[in-house]
Amino acid sequence: MTDRLDWLSFRRFAAFTTALTLSLITLGVYTAATGSGLACQAQWPLCSDQLIPALTINPDFIEWFHRVVAMITGFFILGTAGWAWKRGDRRTKIASTLAVVLLPLQITVGAITVTIGGLVPGGYSPPTHAAHLIVALTIFTLLTLTTLFAVRQHHRRPPRVRSRLAVGVALGALLVSGLFSRGVPLLNYSPGAQAWYYAVSLVAVGALLATVFWLSAVDRIGAWLAGGALGVQFGAMLLGRDLVLYTAAVQRINFALYLLALGIVVAVGWRLRGSMETVPTRQSASSD
């Protein structure tokens, strides 16, 4: 029992909640892209006058499953905040609590999005999709920060080495995301491609957040560069969700943002090249 409780630490719980939120955002993108958000007869919280629809793979089931995962994720976010308040760390409390504060807004926007003829006529539209994604990205960012705060006493590598590894993850994720990106016309921007694009892009976002967090005390220029890449990546992700009418000109802007984010990440990696500081003990590594 003690071993299990030792394994179920706050940092692992926070990391799992963050990963679950990433999965939920990906599922939400797929649900919207397939048009399943308009299923369930545009009802919320019921689905086609039922609490649980027929368990067959159809638009009703996809929309209902998305709602179930959202509910489960919401409880994990609440649990993360509750655990953070028990731990007594101010920054962890703030980040996790802000994620909880945004939950009602996310639920409300989600309800509006799927009730085109219900609560708000015309709710299923690009502006509500964009708002839904913006709030989701904010919650994901806050949970990522919560995880970073939670693990900062458990590092075995110095911050520049950790940052170089994170930049490598971000670069790999950006390269893969380019295969599915709407701004890089390599593949058809199908519902599956959209889901993969946002899943991999969120991995890049998490890695860039970690880079900013770890470099802020040891390399301000590197941290600012990573933050710039993060902002550019957010912009590219929002354009892919029809934040504005997606014309050929917007596609070129989206492509330019992708190249810019990629270039900045390469620059950060170049700046961190050769960061092979001696790996300190756990006690000294935890000081940052």
The pLDDT confidence band at residue 31, using thresholds 50, 70 and 90, is confident
Residue 186 sits in the same domain as residue 230: yes
Residue 149 sits in the same domain as residue 161: no
In this prediction, residue 119 carries a pLDDT of 47
Burial zone of 124 (CB within 10 Å; 0-12 exposed, 13-18 middle, 19+ buried): buried
In this prediction, residue 277 carries a pLDDT of 47
Is residue 285 included in any domain, yes or no? no
Residue 51 sits in the same domain as residue 14: yes
What mean pLDDT do residues 142-146 have?
96
| pTM recorded for the entire structure | 0.86
In this prediction, residue 41 carries a pLDDT of 62
Residue 207 sits in the same domain as residue 248: yes
| Residue 44 domain boundaries | 1-153
Number of compact structural domains in the chain: 2
Is residue 286 included in any domain, yes or no? no
Residue 22 sits in the same domain as residue 165: no
Residue 183 sits in the same domain as residue 62: no
Residue 114 sits in the same domain as residue 163: no
Kindly report, residue by residue over 198-254, the tens digit of the pLDDT.
999 999 999 999 999 999 989 999 999 999 999 999 999 988 877 777 889 999 999
Kindly report, residue by residue over 97-142, the tens digit of the pLDDT.
999 999 999 888 877 777 654 445 555 566 777 788 899 999 999 9
Indicate which CATH number applies to the domain containing 176: 1.20.120.660
- Please check the confidence at residue 73 and state whether its pLDDT lies above 60: yes
In this prediction, residue 279 carries a pLDDT of 43
Is residue 90 included in any domain, yes or no? yes
Residue 89 sits in the same domain as residue 179: no
8 Å CB contact between 242 and 130: yes
The pLDDT confidence band at residue 86, using thresholds 50, 70 and 90, is confident
Kindly report, residue by residue over 152-196, the tens digit of the pLDDT.
877 788 899 999 999 999 999 999 999 999 888 888 889 999 999
Residue 78 sits in the same domain as residue 117: yes
Task: Give the residue from 153, 183, 217 where a domain finishes.
Answer: 153
